[in-house]
Structure 1
């Protein structure tokens, strides 16, 4: 680890944000050119792929709120110091949220693709669908940024909380434009 008196490098955050942007763009391009199909997907025992994604997205939302609370506790934002179990619980819940996010993202891109403009039958794609698709691509890019931030020892101290906050915000928005909308529409 670098000496605390030394200035931290901006190259790690800049490279991470650039890599995240490239990954988000590539996922978006793939989602746009890929012909959506249910072949290669699973429902994990749910009736449909959509219902599976809704349940997993709600679980992700709960986990990211726990991630936020754990991070705030570890950063000393609560009146009492974090007990020893908070760090391991934060890492485990983060790993579970990551795995679930990858499962949902895969099924979104593979089964639904990235829609914009009009559907094949001429109906316009709803703005919520377009926004959700763009947010989903941004989530995948933000995951890359967050993983670099967690592993980096040379980055500035602000990088990890900013990367975590970005991922948190994007995940919440993605869930609001998908699972919450789906449940509210029923």
Structure 2
């Protein structure tokens, strides 16, 4: 027993987890700074109302909605593949699932970047109504969690729940952003290109 009342093995486990816990807190702090920084930039930046557009789409909003939908579809694959990798589904884990999980995540973020750049640069942080405000808020949250998760993926010795929680928050953020933007667009404009 130590003076604090903990057994020696419990104390050793606490000390062993300290660097990983510190790394986790630093990653969360950096992610929070990114989220706040994006929000501050979007709020202070004078919106340019410049729209991304790709030939074949009716508007920049349609492009953004379809890219966001692609990101959501890839994120759904991320969710399913994570369940398989963590053995939360019956059967064995196929060898291809790990690389497919990684690449679907990369492609999901890649699809979301033009949308985020347009939202930040062209529209700014909106607060005209609840939908727009929460869309802006969760857009910043999404990229803050993304940065946090990417930093955490480079760390060893993290507690087993850290990466799944970060991934779940990332998925939640993307779903909420999609619900308040692409789904809203499809409901008001119809499912068009």
| TM-score interval (norm. to shorter) | 0.7 to 0.9
1:26 equivalent in alignment to 2:37: yes
Cα root mean square deviation, aligned: 1.5
State the number of aligned residues: 173
**Cα distance in 2 between the residues matched to 1:59 and 1:93:** 10
**Cα distance in 2 between the residues matched to 1:76 and 1:149:** 21
> Which aligned runs of 4 or more in structure 1 are off by greater than 6 angstroms?
none
1:155 alignment partner in structure 2: 158
**Relative to total residues, which structure has the larger helix share, 1 or 2?**
2
Alignment partner of 1:169 out of 167, 172, 191: 172
Q: Is the 8 A contact 1:49 1:107 kept in 2?
A: no
Query: TM-score of the superposition, structure 1-length normalised?
Result: 0.88
Q: Which 5+ residue runs of structure 1 have no aligned equivalent?
A: 117-124
C-alpha deviation, 1:38, in angstroms: 4.2
1:132 equivalent in alignment to 2:143: no
1:43 equivalent in alignment to 2:46: no
Query: TM-score of the superposition, structure 2-length normalised?
Result: 0.85
**Cα distance in 2 between the residues matched to 1:156 and 1:170:** 22
Alignment partner of 2:85 out of 49, 74, 81: 74
Q: Is the 8 A contact 1:74 1:81 kept in 2?
A: no
Q: Which 5+ residue runs of structure 2 have no aligned equivalent?
A: 1-11
Larger Rg: 2
